[in-house]
Every structure is written in C-alpha cells, then in structure tokens.
Amino acid sequence: MSNTKFTAENTALLLIDHQVGTMKLIKNIPLEEVKKKTLALAKMAKVLNIPVVFTSSQEYAAQGPLMPELAEILPDAFEKRVKREGIVNCWEHKGFYDAVIATGKKNLIMAGVTTDVCLVFPSISAAEEGFNVQAVMDASGSPFNLSEDLSQQRMAKAGVVLTATNTLMAEIAQDWARPEGGELLGILFTDVLPSMG
C-alpha cells in the first residue's frame, strides 16, 4: 500500500456479506461488537458522503438477508446491493467489481462478515490490482482463531493495512472540530468505544 492518506473524498466503503445467518459463524470476537462496528462504519459513510458498495451471497439460503439496520442507515446503497449467486471472492464478481470501479476511488475500506472467507480474498485481490486497502478487523470475524490469524497474516503480507473502527474513523475525521468530525465523535462514543462510566 502506498502512503496515500485516506480521506472522505478519495475513499469508498465496501461491506461484504454482513448477513444475519453468516454472522452467527463469528466466534473469535463478540458478535454484538461486529454488528456495532459494521453499523458505525455505515453511519460514518453517511455522515461523510463516502460511496458504499454492499454485497451479499445467496440471501435466500442459510446466509440470510443483509443486516436490516444497514437498509435504515443507507437505503440507496442497500437497494443497489450486489447479490452474488455463489462466487466466493466478490472481487471476481463482475457486478461487484463494476460497482467498485464506478465509485472512482482508489482507497478502499473493506469489512467482511467472515475475515477468513468473505474478506481475505477480495482485499488481497484489490491490493494486487493497485488499490490501497484497509481491512477493518473488528467489523469482521471468523469461526476459529486459527483461521482469523492466518487470514490476517495473508492480508498483511499482500499489503492490506489491518485496522480497527476507531482508528479508521479518527484517520478519516482528520479534525474533530469540523461539523462532520463532531458527528463522527458522537458515533464513536455511542457505537464504538467502551463506556466511560
């Protein structure tokens, strides 16, 4: 990854397969935390007008529909979500790839419901294609600690930057004193950070 700074103007958010069935596979971190962080990323994108691409895989099967809260936060992006029929690496799905290219952004924030399947492959594919990729690890998870660890190693080796929601939001905010920065700070304290009480 180059030293390109991630800003609201040069970045797109890709949320991959955050489906209510598949989410139950996450065991390495608390599921509620993954949900909260995923929704916080969506709220951040809404505040900053960052383009968002949602994708899902076989919503009619065990994977289930995307988290309904995502539709409440970003109804247009949710409506335009890319529904895949089984292609594992969403980067190899023409509809998803075209949607990402259409954003015109070279900096990609990615989170996938499972790090070890949904996130690892497209993040590496995008990095290999010259995109700057940050993978948000607390909005993703795995069934096993081993598969999580190995996937993180593969991504980092391929040049994907591993990050956490609060770190990413601080980087994108740049200045908490701006109106948008204040809104992001509100999201951080409400949805991301532990209680200060």
How many Cβ atoms are within 10 Å of 129's Cβ, its own excluded? 11
Q: Which two tokens stand for residue 94?
A: 């023409």
Is 90 an active-site residue? no
Phi, psi of 13 (to 5 degrees): -110, 125
- Of 93, 103, 98, the C-alpha closest to 57 is 93
Among residues 70, 118, 124, 172, which one is catalytic? 118
CB-based contact 114:38 (threshold 8 Å): no
- The 3-state DSSP class for residue 17 equals coil
Catalytic residues: 118
